[in-house]
Amino acid sequence: MELLPVDAHITAIDHNLLGLPGIGVTYVVRGESIALIETGTALTVPHTLAGLEKLGIQPEAVDHIICTHVHMDHAGGAGYLAAALPRASVHIHSMSAPHLVDPAKLMVSVRRAVGEEAWPLHGDVKPIPEERMRPAEEMRLDLGRDVILEAIATPGHSPDHLSYRDLKSGGLFIGDAAGLAMDRWELALPVTPVPAYDLAAHRSTIAMLRSLNLPRIYVTHHGPHDDVAFQLSRASEQLDALVDLIDRAIADGESDIASLAARWMPYPDDGPAGLVARSWSQMSIAGMLRYETKRRQG
């Protein structure tokens, strides 16, 4: 567990997502009340709680747990965090809240998407009592001390994806809306997962984000970035490269996911970081191939 100072009122807890530093964070946003943005998986929760203790934050002081979308690396730890933080409400898009109340279908879907090799790194999902859930799509949350969080719809990566604007800093908690930027591992890529990826919505979201002239983005994978124009341009270019690869694969009748992923995102590390790169690149190839195949079938 590592604490990363972000702003006077924001700290990131690197919670060793998928067993590695530099892969995922939970953001702690403090006004008069406290919100956590993103939960990681169930396996990251002990690291997050240790980070809160190191910050001197008591469990009863956390009022809000906020997720950008329902994928397990962003919301899978919500149930365990909610159990440990007894006053906290859980905020997520209303279309996805039922999957945190009854996570059985979510876990089956994630297991299929990430593959058997990476699945043990995701843990399980603890159900959340329905009365603790809050719809986030129109959220405007005043934490006090001029710290206000507003939800912005950012679909594409998933239909339920929301980002959260911090009105005090002007920055945006962006989740997976544009892509990943894990500098420690020299990994940067858009993630386009099955089953509900939408390329048209994703491109529209990236264009909208570029139009906001954001001073900073808070990326879940991984950390704050002030070079916003570069990050969004790179995400757009990488997305175009993935589409070109899939276009050629469909034209050539090629459908081997592992081979296409290795060509798109070669990563020489055979260790844990290589596992993450393989899992996420193969998931993206599968999602884009499914999207483009369905689109061409009308």
- pLDDT, residue 298, reads 76
222 vs 163: CA distance, rounded Å: 15
Q: What is the pLDDT of residues 143-177, one digit of tens each?
A: 999 999 999 999 999 999 999 999 999 999 999 99
Q: What is the pLDDT of residues 211-223, one digit of tens each?
A: 999 999 999 999 9
Per-residue b or e along 153-170, where b marks 16 or more CB atoms closer than 10 Å to that residue's CB: bbbbbbbbbbbbbbebbe
Nearest to 292 by CA among 242, 258, 256, 219: 242
Q: What is the pLDDT of residues 257-291, one digit of tens each?
A: 999 999 998 887 778 889 989 999 999 999 999 99
- pLDDT, residue 113, reads 81
- pLDDT, residue 38, reads 98
- pLDDT, residue 115, reads 80
Q: What is the pLDDT of residues 97-128, one digit of tens each?
A: 999 999 998 888 888 888 888 889 899 999 99
> Which residues are CB-contacts of 140 (< 8 A; sequence separation ≥ 6)?
148, 149, 150, 151
**For the chain, how long is the longest CA-to-CA vector?**
58
DSSP class of residue 42 equals G
Is beta strand 62-66 parallel, antiparallel or unpaired with respect to 34-37? parallel
Q: Kindly indicate the confidence band of residue 234, based on its pLDDT and cuts at 50, 70 and 90.
A: very high
User: Which strands make up the sheet holding 25-30, listed edge to edge?
Assistant: 2-7, 10-14, 25-30, 34-37, 62-66, 89-92, 133-135
Percentage helix, strand, coil for the chain under 3-state DSSP, each rounded to 5: 45, 20, 35
Is beta strand 2-7 parallel, antiparallel or unpaired with respect to 10-14? antiparallel
- The residue that leads in pLDDT, 64 or 121, is 64
Average model confidence (pLDDT) for the chain? 95
Instruction: Kindly state the average pLDDT of the residues 8-29.
Output: 97
Amino acid at 132: R
Instruction: Kindly state the average pLDDT of the residues 40-46.
Output: 97
Nearest to 107 by CA among 121, 118, 123, 93: 123
CATH class of the domain whose range is 2-229: alpha beta
pTM exceeds 0.85, yes or no? yes
> Which residues are CB-contacts of 267 (< 8 A; sequence separation ≥ 6)?
187, 273, 274, 277, 278, 281
Q: By three-state DSSP, how is residue 221 classified? A: coil
**Is residue 251 over pLDDT 80?**
yes
267 vs 265: CA distance, rounded Å: 6
Q: Are 246 and 285 in contact (CB under 8 A)?
A: yes
Which of these ranges, 92-96, 112-116, 229-233, has the smallest mean pLDDT?
Answer: 112-116
- Give the orientation angle of helix 228-252 with respect to helix 199-211, to 10 degrees: 160
Q: What phi, psi does 101 have (nearest 5°)?
A: -75, -40
Is beta strand 62-66 parallel, antiparallel or unpaired with respect to 89-92? parallel
Q: What phi, psi does 262 have (nearest 5°)?
A: -65, -30
Instruction: Report which secondary-structure segment, H or E, holds 173.
Output: strand 172-175
